[in-house]
Amino acid sequence: MKFIHVADSHLGNPLNGITIKEDDPKSTFLFNSLFKTFINIIDLAISNDVDFILFAGDLYNTTNRSIYVEDFLGKQFFRLKEKNIKVYIIHGNHDFSNDGIPHLPWGDNVVEFNNNGRADILETKNQEKVAVVGISYADRHIEKSLLDKYQTRRDDVDYQIGLYHGEVDSNQSNYAPVKLEDIKILGYDYFALGHIHIAQVLSENPYVAYSGSIQGLNKKEVGPHGVIYVQSNQDKTLNVEFIHTNEIEWKNLDIELDTNQELDLIMQTIKQKLDDSIFSVYSLNIKDINNEFNDALAVRINFGTFKDELNLFLEDKDVFVANTDIAENIDQEDDKLPDIDQAIWEQTAKEVFDGDIFLKELITRFKEPEERFIVDYFNNSDILHDIYKKTQSLINNSKGDQDED
């Protein structure tokens, strides 16, 4: 038995922090990078002659998917069909199945699980009998475990595989929270998880693992991303291998330099520190080596013009700078607010900027299909974090305008 565990492809993701420009080769590459990463996965499946491929939720980034994404996905699934490779799909919180939007038809090699917990049985190329079980999200938020719909391991199969999208051992979650020990009790041979974007093996006996997102989707998802490749041995044990598939890699870099030298020298210093062994998207934290940050450069950074100038300077290098910041300002968001009661601010911020509360309010306000893009835009931790930072900055800055008694 050979299969690939994939999760959180988020096809159609807008690459947060990156502005796509027309007729710009790097923009075109970045826009296509997630699709090329997906092709890498299909190529991997075909070259290794796997029996099946698992998609453990959030195949799409949004329920309001484009015809381009639909057509692309259909073509890749057809490539698998030609090689007699089966496809198993569950839907997660981003592409939940109760959205009422049909997708283009897929081939008969694709099994799309609903929420009834049925098992699909297949026979591998080596005549092994495998049962695959999965549950799709019917709605964006699932506040309790779905594990009660998963049947315990069957006796009439060689292997039983589970797909699940949710959070493991979380005290409170809107994403199908589940206990690791409850997963183990089912007795499956492999449990393929989705939702957490960092690859991690939670258990080896039995195997319970997150494959992570196929490629970093924003500045928080740094480093290599990919899929898990699984092969069975004659004694029915499993070999589990993480394989990188990403076309681009997000990186954070702290740079110390003399900000009072010429702009060309500053950019040349930065250029020498950037690695382009793989196409890299950088967030740069810039610190003045003498603690005398140049005011003109600070203005350029704060208004975003330095980032644009730097990307022009880096045209011949396989890198893109998505964000620049002044290192001294990085931790300002954690400063205590002197002119308001800190406890009140923390409580208010928790209520206002909690992702689930914020999202529920948006869903209530924007119900029409043509308004879905608003919900999808704000369903992003980076966006909420930026709003949080700007709000706190406004409060901090407003203290100078207050009358002193």
- According to DSSP, the residues that pair with 164 across neighbouring strands are 193
pLDDT 10s digits, 50-96: 999 999 988 888 766 678 888 999 999 999 999 999 999 998 888 77
Question: Which pLDDT does position 100 carry in this prediction?
Answer: 56
Q: In what order do the strands lie in the sheet with 119-123?
A: 119-123, 129-134, 159-165, 190-194, 207-210, 200-204
Domain coordinates in residue numbering, the chain: 2-244, 248-329, 333-401
Distances (CA, A) of 176 to 4, 92, 145, 249, 403: 23, 10, 5, 29, 49
Report the pLDDT averaged over residues 96-103.
Answer: 64
- According to DSSP, the residues that pair with 36 across neighbouring strands are none
Amino acid at 309: E
pLDDT 10s digits, 188-201: 999 999 999 999 99
* Residue 332: other Cβ atoms inside 10 A: 12
pLDDT 10s digits, 336-391: 555 545 666 666 766 666 656 666 676 667 666 555 556 666 666 656 666 766 66
pLDDT 10s digits, 277-315: 999 999 999 999 988 899 999 988 888 889 999 999 999
Cα separation, 18 vs 14, in Å, equals 8
Question: Which pLDDT does position 380 carry in this prediction?
Answer: 61
Helices and strands in the chain, H and E counts: 10, 15
Topology of domain 2-244, per CATH? Purple Acid Phosphatase; chain A, domain 2 (3.60.21)
Q: Tokens at residue 36, please?
A: 């090329």
Q: Considering the entire predicted model, what is its pTM?
A: 0.79
